[in-house]
Amino acid sequence: MDAQTIALVQTSFEKVAPIADLAADLFYTRLFVLDPSLRPMFGADLTEQKKKLTQLLTVAVRGLSRLDEIVPAVQALGRRHAGYHVKPEHYATVAAALLWTLEQGLGADFTPELKTAWTEVYTVLANTMIATQSEAQTTTWVPPTKSHIPQAALAVAGD
Ligand code: HEM
């Protein structure tokens, strides 16, 4: 990610920050229009969720120039998302809702260049999350088989 992309995203995010509550409302409304089947994954009251998402995005956007420092937190977030039953394909729907929200919030300032910059940033975050999610799912979902039992234990059990 180059310095120009980071600067574009950070400057635009500062412009959306004062209307964060409205932006969060727009985001979730749009998300559930795009895919109503996602609604039950979230609790009935989205108030806390909206705050967390806004805070997380603030930290992520401010941390873009020190991406290596925020990677562990993004990985942990990805692992938690496996627990929320989020699937890799859901990330594209969230991307669409996010880009649409930015377009509403920024109007004419949401240039094609800015859209590309945000897409790049989201892709880095989402791919980091998805990578850990598939690890978590593999370790969670593989059913125990005899091959997981140490050979020595089998030998003792068979005696
Ligand atoms: C870059 C992408 C994403 C970011 C930054 C993000 C951020 C967050 C944050 C900060 C939380 C609060 C809880 C926690 O920290 O564990 C959360 C919860 C959650 N997220 Fe995401 N998320 C992303 C993608 C997605 C996707 C693709 C889905 C799929 C629909 C999703 C569904 C959820 C659900 C269901 C919860 C829990 C809600 C609850 O407990 O009521 N997220 N997310």
Q: What is the CATH number of the domain that holds 107?
A: 1.10.490.10
Cα separation, 100 vs 117, in Å, equals 14
**Tell me, what's the pLDDT at 122?**
92
Q: Probe ligand 1: pick from 46, 77, 89, max atoms within 8 Å of CB?
A: 77
Ligand 1: atom nearest CA of 46 is 41
Ligand 1: atom nearest CA of 80 is 16
Q: State yes or no: pLDDT of 140 exceeds 60.
A: no
Q: Probe ligand 1: pick from 84, 120, 125, max atoms within 8 Å of CB?
A: 84
**Contact predicate 110/116, CB 8 Å:** no
Average pLDDT, the chain: 84
**Ligand 1 pocket, 67 CB below 6 A?**
no
Mark out the alpha helices in the chain (DSSP H runs).
3-16, 20-34, 47-62, 67-83, 90-106, 112-141, 151-158
Q: Domains in the chain: how many in total?
A: 1
Q: Within 13 Å, how many C-alpha atoms sit on residue 75's CB side? A: 10
Domain range spanning residue 143? Answer: 3-157
Q: How confident is the model at residue 49 (pLDDT cuts 50, 70, 90)?
A: confident
Closest CA to 27 of 7, 65, 54: 54
Q: State yes or no: pLDDT of 3 exceeds 70.
A: yes
Q: State yes or no: pLDDT of 37 exceeds 50.
A: yes
Q: Within 13 Å, how many C-alpha atoms sit on residue 29's CB side? A: 9
Whose CA is closest to atom 20 on ligand 1? 81
Q: State yes or no: pLDDT of 156 exceeds 70.
A: no
Whose CA is closest to atom 43 on ligand 1? 53
Whose CA is closest to atom 21 on ligand 1? 81
**pLDDT, tens digit, 9 for 90 and up, residues 79-124:** 999 999 999 999 999 999 999 999 999 999 999 999 999 999 999 9
**Ligand 1 pocket, 42 CB below 6 A?**
yes
Per-residue pLDDT averaged across 133-158, rounded? 50
**Tell me, what's the pLDDT at 145?**
54
